[in-house]
Amino acid sequence: MPINLTLGDIYRITSFLKTEFSKLFWNHITIFPFPNPEYPLLYDFELGLRLPCRFRKNQRCSIYKARPLNCRLFPYWLLSNPNKDGYKEYIGPIRKCIKDYKEDSINKKNYLEYKHKVGNIILQESSLTEHLFSKNNLKKSISLPGDLPFPPSIPKQKEIWKIMLCSKKINKVDYKELPHIIAHALKDNTFHTVEELEIIDQIIT
Ligand code: SF4
């Protein structure tokens, strides 16, 4: 599943690793086509983790303290409301962390509170990223034609195939100024720190 990044995520990851965005761009953090929720053939190019995630080392997250907000939310957005459609598809032998989950009203209340708090930060920070992209004319979308042959018949594989097709259309030259633009934005704004997020994490620990 693609994982998008806010400017705050980039602030926390680069501070944690004591590095610059330009050193991570394309290798770890990339421009990724995200399916538009309203139009099935439209994909928006946004900042996201390169997949498979390059921060995963020795079967662990090497930036766990500074992991992106969307990584923090998993699996709590599901477990706070396990009866919603889609919950079951995430539970399989590889998802050991939620395989044995039994619904519990106290857990559910804490997960819901956590989801709201992290979700609100995502909304704040995403609007900042959105503004930065549109101000610098970086927001690009691509629309796939409706008459494309879609070889894979399984919906998940078809979606991956469509994302790969869109990825090929990303022109790195369009984003050559991005490291410079992000370096300025990181200086000009304040973001939640790793320590502040760790306090919020106490809700679920
Ligand atoms: S939790 Fe860490 S390793 Fe996993 S996808 Fe997020 S950043 Fe990558």
Q: Nearest-CA neighbor of 180 among 136, 140, 141?
A: 136
Ligand 1: lining residues by beta carbon, under 6 Å: 3, 49, 53, 55-56, 61, 63, 67-68, 71
More reliable by pLDDT, 79 or 47: 47
Domain boundary assignment for the chain? 7-71+125-204
The pLDDT of residue 183: 96
The per-residue pLDDT for 204 is 85
Q: What is the pLDDT of residue 94?
A: 61
| Residue 78 scores a pLDDT above 70 | no
User: pLDDT tier at 70 (50, 70, 90 boundaries)?
Assistant: very high
Q: Supply the residue whose CA is at minimum distance from atom 6 of ligand 1.
A: 71
Q: Ligand 1 center to residue 60 CA distance, Å? A: 8
Tell me what pLDDT residue 155 has: 73
> Residues 6 or more apart from 114 whose CB is under 8 A from it?
76, 80, 200, 201, 203, 204
Residue nearest atom 2 in ligand 1 by C-alpha distance: 61
- Judged against a pLDDT cut of 60, whether residue 86 lies above it is answered with no
Are 68 and 3 in contact by the 8 Å Cβ rule? The answer is: yes
Whether 20 has a pLDDT exceeding 70, the answer reads yes
pTM of the predicted protein model: 0.88
**% of the chain exceeding 70 in pLDDT:** 84
| Residue type present at position 105 | S
**pLDDT, tens digit, for every residue of 92-130?**
556 666 666 666 777 778 888 998 999 999 999 999 999
Beta strands of the chain (E only): which ranges? 29-35, 42-49, 56-57, 60-61, 140-143
Q: Are 175 and 138 in contact (CB under 8 A)?
A: yes
Of these ranges, 14-18, 30-34, 140-144, the one predicted with the greatest mean pLDDT is 14-18
State the average pLDDT over residues 129-152: 83
List b or e across 153-172, with b for residues whose CB sees 16 or more CB atoms inside 10 angstroms. eeeeeebeebbeebbeebee
Centre of ligand 1 to C-alpha 199, Å, is 20
Ligand 1 mean position, distance from CA 61 (Å): 5
Q: What is the pLDDT of residues 56-65, one digit of tens each?
A: 999 999 999 9
Decide: helix, strand or coil at residue 108. helix
pLDDT at 124: 93
Atom of ligand 1 nearest to the CA of 56: 3
pLDDT at residue 33, rounded to an integer = 93
Residue 35 has pLDDT above 70, yes or no: yes
Ligand 1: atom nearest CA of 54 is 8
Q: What letters, b where the CB count within 10 A reaches 16 and e where it falls short, cover 131-141? A: ebbeeeebebe
